[in-house]
Every structure is written in C-alpha cells, then in structure tokens.
Structure 1
Amino acid sequence: MSHFNDFSNPQVAKLPNHLKQFIVNQNYGKYTPIDQAVWRYVMRQNYSYLKNVAYYPYIKGLQRAGLSIEHIPDLQTMNDNLGKIGWGAVTVDGFIPPAAFMEYQAYKVLVIAADIRQINHIEYTPAPDIIHESAGHAPIIADADYNNYLSYFGSIGAKAMFSAKDFELYEAIRKLSILKEANDADEMEIAKAEKNLRYISENMGEPSEMALLGRLHWWTVEYGLIGTLEDPKIYGAGLLSSIGESATCMQNDVEKLWYSINTINHQYDITKPQPRLFVTPTFQNLIDVLEQFADTMAFRRGGSESVLKAIACKNVATAVYSSGLQVSGIFTDIGIDTNDELTFIKTTGPSALAFENIQLNNHGKNYHTDGFSSPVGQLKGSAKLLENYTDAEIAALKTGDKTGLTFESGIKVTGKVTNLLRKNGKLLLITFEECTVTESNNNILFRAEWGTYDMAVGSKIISVFNGAADKDAYEEITPVSTEKTHQLQYDEKTKNLHNLYKRVREIRENNESLDELNDIFDKLKQQHRQDWLCALEILELIAQKPRYTRLEKELMIYIEIKAAKEPDHHKLILDGLHVIKHPVSQLLSN
C-alpha cells in the first residue's frame, strides 16, 4: 500500500492498514457511456420523486457531497466536499466483511462499491454499487445528527461479536451478488448460489451481536423512515437509491411501525421488497435505541457469558481484565465457579497482550505463539484487589525464593517472580520462572518445564470484543475474499452502442448538432433494438422543439410500443417519459 492515495482527506489518511487493504482504485475510465447514462437516469428519477418524500433537502445534500445528476461521481471531488463536513470516501470491491464496514463508519469514511449496476438491474440490485453508496448514503451525511449516529454505530458495530456462521453468510451473499452482476453468469450457478444462501440463512442458530446489529443497521441506515406513521419521510439509503422501492414503500400495504429496541426481532430479506418499515420520530431516538442494545453487548458486560460468545465466534477476540490488560487471540476454554464467575480464561494459537489498544513490548503473537491462559479473580482472604498490590505487598507473599498466590477459586500459582508490569498505577502482569499452576482438584494448568509463565492480573473480565486490541500490530489482515467481482469485456456491437450513447451526451452537453440525432435513432432501430434508454435520451433533447416534431412523434411511437411489449421495461420507460415532461432543471431551481 505504499502508493496509498488519501485524496488529501484527513479522515481517509487516518485509516489503519487492516482497513486500507480493502481499498481499490476507482478507475474512473472503466465506466462506459451506458454506465454514465444509467447514473443520470436514476439520479433524474430520484430528483423528480424524492423531492416530495425524502426527509432532507436531497438536492442540497447531493451538492454538499460533491455529486451531480450528470456524471458518476469521481472520488477526488467527493473527498474534497465530504472533507468539509469531517468525512471521507473510498472505493472497495463489492461487499466487505461487516466488521470492517462498521469500522470504516467509525473512522467517518464512506465505503463505496466502485462498480455500477448494469442497465438490466437499474431499479434495484442486491450488489452494492456506486449509485447506492453515493446517491443513497452521501447526501444525508451533511445532517449532523445523522452523521453522529452513523459514526457512533460504526464504533459499536466494530466491537460486535459475530459467529462463525455470520462469516459463512457473508461469503454466500458476496458470491451471489457477484454472480448476479456478471454478464456471463450461468443460471444454474446462480440457482445453486441462491440455494446455498437460503440454506445458510435458515440454519444460523441464535443470532450473534453482529447479526442483531445488522438488523438495526438495515431498518435505519438502509431502510429507515423518519417522522410520523401517517406521513413518514425517507432517510434510508436502500430506499433512496432504489427508484422502484422508494415509490412503493409509501403505499399503505407496506406496514409502518415505530422504531424501538424491539426492531431487532425483525429479520430482513435482501432479495425482495420489504413488507414493513420502521419510523423513528427523530435521529436522537436512533442513538437511544443503539445505546440500549449496546448495554447488552459483550464489550460492555464482560463476565463468563461474554467469553463464551468469544469461544463461539472461533475468530480472534479480545478480553479485557479489570486492570486494563487486553488479551487477544482465539478463545477456546474457560473455568467457571458455582456462582458462574470466571476462574480462568484460555486462548489457543498466536495471542497478544495490549493496554489501551497498544500492544505491549515483547508480548505479540510471535512471543505467545501457542496461546495464553491466566486466572481471573481475587486472592483468597484478601480484601484488596491484586491489581492494586504494591511491590512490597507482592514481596510479602514470598516463602524462600518462591512466591505463592492462592485465588478464591482454589487456583494456585507458585514460582519465582522475575518481573512486574504496571500501567497507570495498576499491576497488569506478573512474570514467573519455575512456575506451576494447579486447580483446586490438582488439575495442572501450567508446568515448570514449559518455561516462563506470564500471569495476567485482574479480578474480573470487564469487556470482550471482536478482533484484536491492536489490530495493526497483530497484523490482523482479515482474509480478503478470493471471489473478485467480474471485469466486463465488450463485443463490437456493444462498443458501437457505447459510442451512440457517448455522442448523445456530447450533443446534449454542447447543445449543438441536434440534426445528427435522426441518424443515431436509425442506428438504434436497426442494430440495437434491445436498448430503451438511448431512445429516451434522444427524445429528451428534442421534446417540444417545433423543428423536430416528426422525429419526436416517431420516437414516441417507438418508445410506447417498447413499453407495451417489454414488461421488464414498462415502468422504467414510463418513469423516463414522466421526467421528460417535468424536466429536472425546474426541480433544481425549486
């Protein structure tokens, strides 16, 4: 990543390495003239419709985010504009893991999929694309209450525990979305991927913290409504960027419920329109509900239930002792007493110790290669917590040259103390040589011949969260999916169609050579009968111009026959005609 481009945006510049790995170049030149026309069509529809139902001044929001109707946004322009409101943007390849997505949000960076939906998925695509991310998420970022919610959600989501099943689900969704957007996809393969996704999602078991937060994210950031049940306005990006659903969601057959903590009980299906939506009276209510949920999460609760979530996760997690010591690794075992209190915790495989999210010197995963285990709790018969012991009080526990610690749980640690590590006045680690650790039933947890024993100090585990404490030091490079989005290749016929679109754009932008449109329309009729959007763009240019009455009539007949004969394009064409009759330029001045 030495050539990392931060677009001179302070938020992007702050990103840590484990997030930078997902960034891809936008590669603006790959957008074809049809891609640009698709962007413009959707944006004109959005402007035309959303001015009545979007919660915030959509057009002002777009301008503040550096977006225009006319062109797919360029990342540098977006960063220049978002930078003024303390945000940034980067492009990635399709879906990225939920925890990484959340963390970007915590860093106040919008993640934008670099690809754009194909014309045959113009109304809605389950795959993330630049229309969804930029036309949906970016315009509302200017609202301070909302962007506070978004970054706060990110910081909580980044700590959420996920289950091993969640990762399988992410891979299945990613695979299906890539297949669906590939122009060479095999129907059998798509059906197989859909079946696989259905199977995984129907057998998820108890939903993890990440799955439940995913629901809150979906019903707010993606599909949220704000206001009253009778007259709600749209703020969710999934609705704002789907020209199909932004219209249908306001109908009465889509149930409207108040948004509250109970919303986590509602699952969603990304492949179909939502049967119900949730309305929040204010953005502050979103923060209140999130706060309520966060209070149930492992990173705030700690204790045995939270370490058990880490064990179920089968991925790297961090447990925090009451002394402040952070242990990162894959948790595999715990000891619990009769009161359900923890007596010890254990990781297997490379583990690391940290304090305040900075790895401790010489305690990285190259040192703790085979795992880490330590008691949790208080010393027997002592009112004072071990983390508050002074050097003199530790020395007083010595008998001969060995120091013996007996915990309330019955665990005994005996050995030569060679080092005490303190931070902020708390004892974090006691290092022993020639050490044995036994449980009350004489079960041996550590033998002297195994070498140095680093014992964590802390009466409780106060927090458990997803991922390593110091992610960059842990080199926790999340496996980037091997499924890459397909890069399209175009045949000659398609390239010719691209050129026709390009020429229509040039004529529109320079406002000259309108006579050439006749010839372009002839080529469309003869060689590209499957296309509907280019004909609409020509009609837009000559509508209500007396000189072109004949061509206007021909185009209208051609387009209306298309709308009648092609059910897939029927609504798209009628919507396009509507915007031609009620031009966007009038909207801009409103």
Structure 2
Amino acid sequence: MNDFNDFNNPQVARLPKHLRQYIVDQHYEKYTPVDQAVWRYVMRQNYSYLKHVAYYPYIKGLQRAGLSIEYIPDLQTMNDNLGKIGWGAVTVDGFIPPAAFMEYQAYRVLVIAADIRQINHIEYTPAPDIIHESAGHAPIIADTDYNNYLSYFGSIGAKAMFSAKDFELYEAIRHLSILKEATDAPEHEIAKAEQQLAHISENMGEPSEMALLGRLHWWTVEYGLIGTLEDPKIYGAGLLSSIGESASCMKPEVKKLWYNLDTVNYTYDITKPQPQLFVTPTFQNLIDVLEAFADTMAFRRGGSEGIMKAIACKNPATAVYSSGLQVTGVFSDMGLDTDDQLTFIKTHGPSALALRGKQLESHGKHYHKDGFSSPVGRLKGSEKPLEDMDDTELRALGIERNGVASLEFESGIRVQGLVLDLLRDAGKTVLITFKDCTVKESNGNILFQPDWGLYDMAVGARIVSVFNGAADKEAYEEITYVSGKQTHKVVYDEKTLQLHNIYTQVRRIREQGEGYEALADLFAELKAQFRDDWLAALEIMEILYHKQINPDLEKEVRIYLELKAAAEPELSKLINDGLHVIKNPVTQLINEEED
C-alpha cells in the first residue's frame, strides 16, 4: 500500500502496517442521492430528539468533528477537524477483528465503516455503517475526559486474551452483517447465518478477557449513560445513532443501574433493545472501572493462569519472562509444579523472540518455525535468579562462550550442553544458546536432544505478562493488504437511476431556492413509478411547508404520506417522525444552541 493516504493527519500517519491493511478508500462518489437523503433524515431526527437527552451539545460536537446534518461526511474534512483535537479517522470494510479495532482506538484513530445503511434499515442496522461510526462516535471525541478513556480502553483491549470461540463468533457476526446489508441475499442464506451465530453464541463457554471487555465497551462506548439514575444523559454511540432506541431507552421500563465492575457480568444481544442500561456519574469513573478490570488480566498477572488463557486462545499470543524476553507463538503446553508454579512453556508452529516489542535478529518465525520450548524458574540452590547473575556468577556455572554448563532448575528440569552464545539486555541475561544440548524433566522425559539442532533457552524466573497477539506485529504478522479497489462500482438499473434523479432534483430545489414549479411533476412521477418510496415525498412536503407555496399540493402530499403511514405499519413511525421534524425545523434548533 505505497499510496497510503494519511489525510495529513498525524494520528493516521502513525498507524503501523498491520493496521493499515484494513483501510479502504471511502469512494465518496459511490454514495447515491438516496444515501445522502438517508443521512440527512437520520441526522435531522437525531438532532431533533437528542438535544434533550444527549450528554453534550450534539451539534457543536458534530461541527468540531467536521460533520454536517446535510451531507455524508468526507474523510478529509473529518481528519482536518479531528486533527485539531489529536484524533484521526479512516474508513474500513465492515467489521474488523476486535483486537485491531481496539488498537486503532489506542492510536486515537476512529474506525468508520465506509458503507451507509439501506433505506429499509434506516432506524437500525446490525452492520457497522458511516452513520453509527461518525454521527455516533465522532461528536463526543472533543470531550477530553472521554477521548482519554477511549484511547486507554484501546490500549488495554489490544492486549486482551481471546478464546478460540471468540474468533468463531467474530466471523459469524461479520458474515451475518454482510448478508443483511446485501441487496440480493437469499432469505435462506440469512436464516442459516442466524442459526450459525445463535449456535456459537449459546456454546461460548467461560467468557474470555476480550468477551468481558466487550461487555464493558458495549455498556459504555456504545450504550452508556452519564449523570444520575433519575436524569441520565446519553453518550453511547449505539444509542446516539439509533433513532429508535435513543427515544425508547429513556422509558422507565428500561432499568437504569450504576456502572461499576459488576457490569462485566451483564451480557448483551446486539439484535434487541437493551433491558437495562448503566449510568456513570463521571467519565473518570469509566477509567477507574477499566483499571480495576485490567488488574485481573493476563497481561498484568502472567503466570500459569496467563499461559492457560494463551493455550485456550489457539492463536498467537506473547509470554514475557521476568528478564524481559518476549516469546510469541501459539501456546500448546506448560509444566506446573506442586504449587501450580510454571516449570516450562511450549509453543507449536511459527514462533519468535523479541525484546521491548522488537524481534531479535535471527529469532523470527522462520527460524523457530516448529515452535519454541523453554524452562521457567530458578536454579536449584541458587539465591539469585539466573537472569540477575553477573559474569563471575555465570562463569561459575559454565555459562560463557564455549563453556560447558549443567543447570538444574528447582522444578527438576536439567539442561546440559555447550554454550555457544548468550544475550544480555539492560543488565539481565535473557537468552542462552546451546550446542549438543539435552533437556530432561526429573522423571526422565526428554524435552530436547542434541540431534534436534541448537537449543535456545529463554532465561527468567517467572512469566510476568501474557497478552494477545505478537510482541513485534510488523515482523510476525502476515500483512495481507485488503485491496483499495473494493466493489464500489455498483451498476444501477434505469428505474433506480430515475429515482436517484428525483432525489437529486428535490435537493437542488431545496438548496438553490428556485424551480419550485417542478415539484408537482416530481411528486406525480413518484406516485406513478415509485409507490414504495416515502422519503422523497417527505422532502417535497418539507419544501412546500416551509416555503408556503402551492398549499393544494402540500395537502395532497401530506395526505399521501398519512395514508401510507396508516397502511404500512413499518413506515408509520418513520413518516410521522419526519412530519414532526418538518413542523419543528432543525435549523431553528441549531441556531438556538449556537447562540
């Protein structure tokens, strides 16, 4: 991706290659006149209602993020504005892996799905879309306490351990969301994907760190309330971008509970309105709860508990020795003594060694292609950990170049061989390389023998941290760039283009303040050719009402819409809400707030 566009935004420019691979071009030209009208409808509805229940001045937040009510945001404009408050934005293709999503947050970059919901999903879509990501998340970014929480959450979330089931769940959710937003997906395919997702969801087992963090993210970033239990305000993006649930969530039947560490025990269902919501008194409380949860995580606790989580993950993870050496790979085994303390760790398949997040030369996944195994612990009878011994103490054990060493660990593991090399870092011995080496457990079980080649022994009395993914992501991960040339070139049939033309003309008349006489013909065309459409008729009604022209046509359009609302229950709320905003214009409300 040599033509990577950083939008002249420092935060975007800092993104590493393994995150850049998810970025796709926005392709602003793909948004149709109907898409633009959908954006405008949702934003007008949002502002009309959210001025009462949003935590912060919604319109000021939109403006600071480079968003308008009238048009789908352009990524360059958003980056120009977000850059002023130390954030950036990129567009991606739908759901991306949760760990990557978290890491973007840590880099202070908003991830925005490039697509916009179809008109038949205008109230809510399970798929990420530009309305949810930009109109929901971006306006509150200007709040310093909140954006500090968001980036800190990202840095914690990027280290969270997955279970293998989490990966299955992510793939199932992504698959279903793509099908649901596709215009031509067969119903049986959607039903099959829903069954698959339900089956995985019901058989998740014990929730992983990432699953528990996902709950905290959901009840704060997506569905959070702030203030008091009696009079909370919305700051969660899921609520702010859902014109249905932002209203229904304030009803008394939706329980309001204080947000604390116990919130992690509440599961959620993305397909249904939430039965309860959590209220935080301040954004600082969000950071305090996150900090308390982080203290329970493997990246802070390490030990056998952390390695067990890594084994359950079945995907690359990193264990950090107390010497600072980082071992990345798919963990497959470990040894425990009678006190449940680690005696050795083992990976299988491509593995790598690193220090401070940088892969060691000649210790990448091609060199350790079949896995890595090493003892953990102290030497028997030694008061000082091996990693802390000075040159004299090491020589006494035969640990010097071309020395012959015979080491016995407290666990009973014995390592014997010729020392070829040793690596020291920041005053600690971190790695010893042996030739003609034998490694045995106390019961005689062989862990390594001379004809297997050189033996690299990690040095460290303890495993102090275990976290998701590679220590050096750039060196370890395969960067498989997602093509910037996604299927953005949609070919519309003649009739759809005719409808697009009606929307374009209505917008031009509204914005230029001329050509009102064409509205009667446009409405007649809508009635004759596009009986399913309601939004263009609403926009025509808006112009007639505000300009007070052609009262007979205005009456005809209003009756048409009212009959449609009565005959088609699924459109009833959308049309009535649209009529309400016409009579209570948003521009007037914007001016009031700006004053």
1:122-169: per-residue Cα shift (whole Å, max 9, x none)? 000000000000000000000000000000000000000001110111
Aligned partners of 2:27 and 2:488 also within 8 Å: no
Counterpart position of 1:579: 581
- How far apart are residue 545 of structure 1 and its match? 3.6
Q: CA deviation at 1:488?
A: 4.8
Q: Could you tell me whether the CA contact under 8 Å between 1:178 and 1:485 is conserved in 2?
A: no
CA distance in 2, matches of 1:450, 1:127: 50
SS of corresponding position for 1:333: strand
Report runs of 4+ in structure 1 exceeding 3 Å deviation: 476-481, 484-489, 544-547
1:333–1:547 CA distance, 2 compared to 1 (3 A): closer
Say if 2:470 and 2:477, in contact at 8 Å, map to a contact too.
Answer: no
Contact 1:183 1:488 in 2 (8 A): no
* Cα contact 1:314–1:330 (8 A) shared by 2: yes
Q: Which amino acid aligns with 2:297?
A: M
Q: Residue 259 of structure 1 corresponds to which residue in structure 2?
A: 259
Residues 122 and 35 of structure 1: CA distance in aligned 2, closer, same or farther (over 3 Å): same
Matches within 5 A, 1:48-447: 48-398=48-398, 401-447=403-449
Aligned to 1:543, the other structure's residue is in SS state helix
Structure 1 residue 529 corresponds to structure 2 residue 531 = yes
Match in the other structure for 2:464: 462
* CA gap 1:55/1:245 in 2 versus in 1, 3 angstroms: same
In 2, Cα distance between equivalents of 1:340 and 1:546: 80
> Residues of 2 paired with 1:254 and 1:180: CA distance?
27
Name the SS for the 1:382 alignment partner. coil
Deviations 1:193-238 (A, max 9, x none): 1111000000000010000000000000000000111100000000
Q: For residue 456 of structure 2, what is the amino acid of its counterpart?
A: D
State the shift of 1:311 in Å.
0.4
Equivalents in 2 of 1:544, 1:94: separation in Å? 38
Contact 1:345 1:375 in 2 (8 A): yes
Query: Do the aligned partners of 2:18 and 2:477 also contact (CA within 8 Å) in 1?
Result: yes
Deviation at 1:239, TM superposition (A): 0.2
CA contact (8 A) 2:323 2:430 kept: yes
Query: Which secondary structure state, in structure 2, belongs to the residue aligned with residue 352 of structure 1?
Result: strand
Question: What is the CA-CA distance between 1:478 and the residue it aligns to?
Answer: 7.8
Which amino acid in 2 is paired with 1:555?
Answer: V
**Worse-matched range after superposition: 6-15 or 547-556:** 547-556
The match for 1:23 is: 23
- Matched letter for residue 443 of structure 2: N
| Alpha-carbon spacing, 1:584–1:509, altered in 2? closer, same or farther (3 Å) | same
Shift of 1:361: 1.1
Partner of 2:473: 471
Q: Deviations over 1:520-563 (max 9, x none)?
A: 11100110111000011011111054432111111111111111
Q: Give the C-alpha shift of residue 397 in structure 1.
A: 1.1
- Measured in 2, the distance between the counterparts of 1:232 and 1:392 equals 66
Q: Which amino acid aligns with 1:82?
A: L
Cα offset, 1:489, TM superposition: 4.0
The 3-state SS of whatever aligns with 1:339 is: coil
Secondary structure of the 2:516 match is coil
Q: CA deviation at 1:391?
A: 2.1
Q: Distance in 1 between matches of 2:45 and 2:158?
A: 35
2:506 aligns with 504
Answer with 457-466 or 469-478: which moved more.
469-478
Q: Matched residues in 2 for 1:339 and 1:419: separation? A: 33
Deviations 1:437-485 (A, max 9, x none): 111111111101111111100000000000000000113448979xx88
1:309 Cα deviation after fit: 0.4
Give the conservation status (yes or no) of the 8 Å contact 2:24–2:482.
Answer: no
Distance in 2 (alpha carbons) for counterparts of 1:546 and 1:401: 97
- Shift in alpha-carbon separation, 1:496–1:378, aligned structure 2, 3 A: same
Unaligned runs of 5+ residues in structure 2 are none
Partner residue of 1:556?
558
- Name the residue aligned to 2:521: 519
Q: What is the one-letter code of the residue matched to 2:560?
A: Y
Alpha-carbon distance in structure 1 between the residues aligned to 2:175 and 2:330:
27
Count of residues in correspondence between the two structures: 588
Gaps of 5+ in 1: none
Hey, what's the Cα distance between the residues in 2 that align with 1:213 and 1:201? 16
Letter aligned with residue 66 of structure 1: G
Decide which of 538, 541, 558 is 2:540's aligned counterpart: 538
One-letter amino acid of the counterpart of residue 353, structure 1: L
C-alpha distance in structure 1 between counterparts of 2:430 and 2:403, whole Å: 22
SS of structure 2 residue aligned to 1:218: helix
User: How far is the alpha carbon of 1:398 from its aligned partner?
Assistant: 2.6
RMSD of Structure 2 on Structure 1 (CA):
1.4
Shift of 1:369: 1.1
8 Å Cα contact 1:182/1:488 also seen in 2:
no
Offset of residue 511 of structure 1: 1.0
Alignment TM-score, normalising by the size of structure 2: 0.97
Deviations 1:56-103 (A, max 9, x none): 111100000000000000000000000000000000000011011001
The alpha-carbon deviation at position 486 of structure 1 amounts to 8.9
Query: CA shift at 1:408, angstroms?
Result: 0.6
Q: Using the alignment, how far apart are the partners of 2:74 and 2:443 within structure 1?
A: 66
Query: Separation in 2 of the partners of 1:259 and 1:78?
Result: 31
Deviations 1:309-358 (A, max 9, x none): 00000000000000000000000010000000000001111110001101
* Offset from partner CA, 1:24-71 (integer Å, 9 cap, x none): 100000000000000000000011100010001111000000000000
TM-aligned CA distance change 1:508 to 1:433, over 3 Å? same
- Name the CA shift for 1:505/1:9 in 2 (closer, same or farther; >3 Å): same
- Equivalent position SS for 1:515: helix
1:94, 1:485 within 8 Å by CA — same for their partners in 2? no
SS of equivalent residue, structure 2 residue 442: coil
- CA separation of 1:253 and 1:8: change in aligned 2, threshold 3 A: same
SS at match of 1:165: helix
- Percent identity of paired positions between Structure 1 and Structure 2: 76
Q: Which one-letter code corresponds to 1:429 in the other structure?
A: L
Aligned-partner Cα distance in 1 for 2:489–2:288: 43
Correspondence 1:449 to 2:451: yes
2 CA distance for matches of 1:270 and 1:480?
27
From the superposition, tell whether residues 372 and 419 of structure 1 become closer, same or farther in structure 2 (CA, over 3 Å). Answer: same
Alignment partners' CA distance in 2, 1:380 and 1:546 = 93
